[in-house]
Amino acid sequence: MRAMKPERTSPPAPRIYWTLARRRRTATAVRVTFLAVMALLLFGPIVVLAVFSFNRSIVIGFPFRGGTLEWYRAALGETAAWDSLRASLQIALVVTPMCLLLGLLSAFALSRFRFRLRGVTGSFILLPLVIPWLLIGVSGLIFFSLVDVRLSLWTVGVMHVVIAFPLVTALLSAQLVRLDPHIHEASLDLGAGEIETLRHVIIPLLLPTIGASAVFVFSWSFNNFIVSFFTAGFDNTFPIWVFSSLRRARDLPVVNALATLISFVQIVVIVGVWQLLKVRLERRGQDIRDVVAGA
């Protein structure tokens, strides 16, 4: 494209050139506008909330009555909120390794072995990715009451595993399929059994994808509201606490402050992990986008 730019010494460019250039400028303008509108719609509300968490007024809205850390101070005293936060963290910390294990096993089964009903099994495993979480939440509730299991953080954890591990399956099997099968054979040929091959070759090669999966699963579990809402019983996860607090108008700024704080921490952690993965991958000459997009 840059080659089209006329050099100073060249004869006056023909009219067609100017038409093309104008068209290109218009296209760029359209693209930039589109992206700006999208970004505004996606992130605007979040930024507005974050800004208003520093507003002195109890009403979340204009006018801005001057900055304060009052709501943050109040948030520190909200023991119920911190309890729910701890619960959410605990769940995510248990759910993540479970999902990685299940995802790894199922990805292996689907991509490495040819068995009867493989296609059916694959669709079945990936089904939770396309079923609305509302339905999954309600059916979880019905299921647990049918089998007479008391709802608690444990039932929430089980449901989180159900919705999140298929994501790991999808990411890992995409990666496994891309792996040269001869690498696996080479390891066997050089005297390693299947377990040793898994340990020294397959897992290290999948590690970046496993890391990326962990980030996704953790944030899915930590942020999930709807499935948790139906299966938590009298226990609270952080998103449930936020939802229940919304009904009391005077708590609103506190909720807002806490949510802003948590979002900030999450963003920092996720970006940090992402950068860590990226640096490690670049040292091995890989691109992180390949690992996640599977392209």
- The footprint of another protein (CB under 8 A) covers 180, 182-183, 185-193, 196, 200-201, 204-205, 284-285
Compute the Cα dihedral for 12, 13, 19, 20 and give only its sign: negative
- For 32, other C-beta atoms within 10 Å of its C-beta total 10
CB 198 within 8 A of CB 187: no
Cβ proximity to another protein, 158 vs 207, nearer residue: 207
Buried b (16+ CB within 10 A) or exposed e, 248-282: eeebbbbbbbbbbbbeeeeeeeeeeeeeebbeebe
In the complex, the smallest distance separating the C-beta of residue 207 from another protein, rounded to whole angstroms, is 8
- Closest Cα partner for 250 from 59, 45, 54? 59
Cβ proximity to another protein, 45 vs 185, nearer residue: 185
Q: Which residues contact 222 (CB under 8 A, 6 or more apart)?
A: 88, 89, 91, 92, 238, 266
Cβ proximity to another protein, 44 vs 193, nearer residue: 193
In the complex, the smallest distance separating the C-beta of residue 277 from another protein, rounded to whole angstroms, is 14
In the complex, the smallest distance separating the C-beta of residue 110 from another protein, rounded to whole angstroms, is 22
In the complex, the smallest distance separating the C-beta of residue 100 from another protein, rounded to whole angstroms, is 19
Alpha carbons within 13 angstroms on the beta-carbon side of residue 70 total 12
Tokens representing residue 197 in the block: 């091959």
- Please give the single-letter amino acid code of residue 41: L
Cβ proximity to another protein, 6 vs 204, nearer residue: 204
Cβ proximity to another protein, 29 vs 190, nearer residue: 190
In the complex, the smallest distance separating the C-beta of residue 118 from another protein, rounded to whole angstroms, is 19
